[in-house]
Amino acid sequence: MNVLSVSSEVYPLIKTGGLADVAGALPIALEALGVRTRTLIPGYPAVKAAVTDPVKCLEFADLLGEKADVLEVRHEGLDLLILDAPAYYERSGGPYLDQTGKDYPDNWKRFAALSLAAARIAAGALPGWRPDMVHAHDWQAAMTPVYMRYAETPEIPSLLTIHNIAFQGQFGANIFSKLALPPHSFGMEGIEYYNDVSFLKGGLQTATALSTVSPSYAEEILTPQFGMGLHGVIGSRAHVLHGIVNGIDADVWNPATDHLIHDNYSAANLKNRALNKKAVAEHFRIDDDDSPLFCVISRLTWQKGIDLMAEAVDEIVSLGGRLVVLGAGDVALEGALLAAASRHHGRVGVAIGYNEPLSHLMQAGCDAIIIPSRFEPCGLTQLYALRYGCIPVVARTGGLADTVIDANHAAIANKSATGVQFSPVTLDGLKQAIRRTVRYYHDPKLWTQMQKLGMKSDVSWEKSAGLYAALYSQLISKGH
């Protein structure tokens, strides 16, 4: 089975969020199942600099008015097709934002071009290779099924995965005439959205099937609260909507072999975890004692519930606990957390920024991680936590609800609990969850049982890849 994956970012080449992790890890896991994926990605400077000896395999004389080449290369287990279009991607900022943090004004054209190139490859433009299936990711690639429907190749099935429905690729209607689409594609069944153009809405309407990154999020986006204005469109296609949880790289995130942590350990030998806990306390210059050590590793934003977290710091300290925070984001929230660290010297430590080695050490040394997100399509942090025996304390939403088993009376009785869930996502709800967690911490037998169960959870990509491969096969066998 040959699959064309289309993504605006792919780890380890370029990453701004979880989309890159999926686009980078899923093809490798699928390859073990006999699914060969080629990934089309924009030729950003960082991408071209990272690869060695790419070979030109295709050229477009006119891709929405610009010349472009496609370069093929194998890089770290990935078969890449790099869309080398300097007019679109040769920029000094990031993938979507310029150096001042503003959206590039021609983002519509940059990602329509990516999608059009994908549709042409699906139609057979690449000599000697044609995919059986196209898998597009998020709004940046959502025009791929639109072009396949209206311009290039309607017979090949397509899957559109929604990683976060808050990002929709919405632009003024004046761009429509420049998209090389027939007039009838601008309508309720196409890319028109309240007299604007919405790339994501177009993809939702035209893809053969839709998926998102957890079963709970698939249900949530059918509601006005979580659907971000597109719940009606998604509801009309609910019969082809699937929820598949993301996995993690179980080789990179393995406490038995992780070279980024202070001491290695496993579910069978948890005693070395205490050495990592000591190392975390030393790094953040907080008290080194036997009290419960909570952590937050997150973008510091309202969506992630960090405003609630800032208000709950006093509760953790009053219960005898400690807290360490790693992240960056909203300046006011950063300030609130830094103020809490000053207020509770020796009990609270805050590091503003992102630090990959430190995030590994915190997962390996902290007792529990708090994830109070208001919505969370999947979430990876709680999967890392399960793997590392760091008890997840999570809001009951999206992928958090699907991957953490709450320590309620029944789950404790049948020995299946792996963490703590809370709902509603309010300050009171969070405080109650913190109190429960501290209570469980002081029951060493229960705590160790929860840690070991979490560490044995299958959070690898192999499981998720099997579900994607089955979905691909189903779509291909149905024809289009």
Rounded average pLDDT over 456-465: 93
190 near 202, Cβ under 8 Å?
A: yes
Q: Do 2-247+462-478 and 273-457 show the same overall fold?
A: yes
Which tens digits make up the pLDDT trace of 126-152?
999 999 999 999 999 999 999 999 976
What does the domain layout of the chain look like in residue ranges? 2-247+462-478, 273-457
422, two tokens: 């809370």
Q: Which helix (H) or strand (E) holds 142?
A: none
Cα 402 to Cα 77, 218, 276, 443: the distances in Å are: 29, 11, 28, 25
Structure tokens at 395: 């809001």
3-state secondary structure of 212: strand
Q: Report CA Rg, the chain.
A: 23
Q: Which of 148, 372, 324, 356 is nearest to 249 (CA)?
A: 356
Reference 201, options 211, 191, 188; nearest CA is: 191
Cα distance between residue 184 and residue 304, in whole Å: 40
394 strand-pairing partners: 371, 421
Classify residue 375 by its DSSP letter: -
- The DSSP bridge pattern shows strands 293-297 and 192-193 to be unpaired
Both tokens assigned to 433: 């969850």
Please name the residue ranges forming H helices in 51-157.
Answer: 86-89, 107-122, 138-141, 143-150
DSSP H helices in 45-104: 45-50, 86-89
d(CA 349, CA 327): 12
What count of other Cβ atoms lies within 10 Å of the Cβ of residue 204?
25
**CA proximity to 6, closest of 38, 43, 45, 51:** 38
Architecture of domain 2-247+462-478: 3-Layer(aba) Sandwich (3.40)
pLDDT reported for residue 478: 85
pLDDT for 18: 82
Q: What is the pLDDT of residues 331-372, one digit of tens each?
A: 999 999 999 999 999 999 999 998 989 999 999 999 999 999
Q: Can you say whether residue 91 is alpha, beta or left, with left for phi > 0 and alpha for psi between -120 and 50 degrees?
A: beta
76 torsion bin: left (phi>0), alpha (psi -120 to 50), beta (else): left
pLDDT at 151: 78
Measured CA to CA, the distance from residue 407 to residue 437 in angstroms comes to 9
Tell me the pLDDT tens digit for each residue of 219-233. 999 999 999 999 999
The yes/no answer on whether domain 273-457 falls in CATH 3.10.310.10 is: no
Tens digits of residue pLDDT in 160-186: 999 989 999 999 999 999 999 999 999
Dihedral of CA atoms 121, 127, 130, 135 in degrees, nearest 10, equals -30
Region 80-95: mean pLDDT is 96
**pLDDT given for residue 154 in this prediction:** 67
Counting other chains too, the contacts that 265-274 makes at CB distance below 8 Å and 24 or more residues apart are: 265/364, 265/389, 266/455, 267/389, 267/451, 267/452, 267/455, 267/456, 270/389, 270/448, 270/451, 270/452, 273/364, 273/365, 273/389
- The DSSP annotation for 156-204 comes to S-EEEEES-TT---EEEGGGGGGS---GGGSSTTTTEETTEEEHHHHHH
Share of the chain above pLDDT 70, in %: 99
Q: For residue 2, what are the β-bridge partners?
A: 36
Is-contact 199 169, C-beta < 8 A? yes
**Alpha-carbon distance 8 to 240, whole Å?**
24
Q: Is 15 annotated as ligand-binding?
A: yes
Cβ-based neighbour number of residue 250 at 10 Å? 14
What pLDDT sits at residue 480?
53
Neighbours of 128 (CB within 10 A): 6
Tokens 């690449």 label which residue? 126
Instruction: Give the residue, 16 or 464, on which the prediction is more confident.
Output: 464
Q: For 83, phi and psi rounded to 5 degrees?
A: -85, 100
**Residue 404: enclosing H or E segment and its boundaries?**
none
> CA dist 291 to 17, 317, 368, 400, Å?
33, 10, 12, 26
In this model, does residue 320 exceed pLDDT 60? yes
Nearest CA-CA partner of 42 in 101, 116, 98: 116
Amino acid 152: pLDDT:
63
φ/ψ region of 296 (left if φ > 0, alpha if ψ in -120 to 50, else beta) reads beta
The per-residue DSSP string of 263-276 comes to S--BTTB-TTHHHH
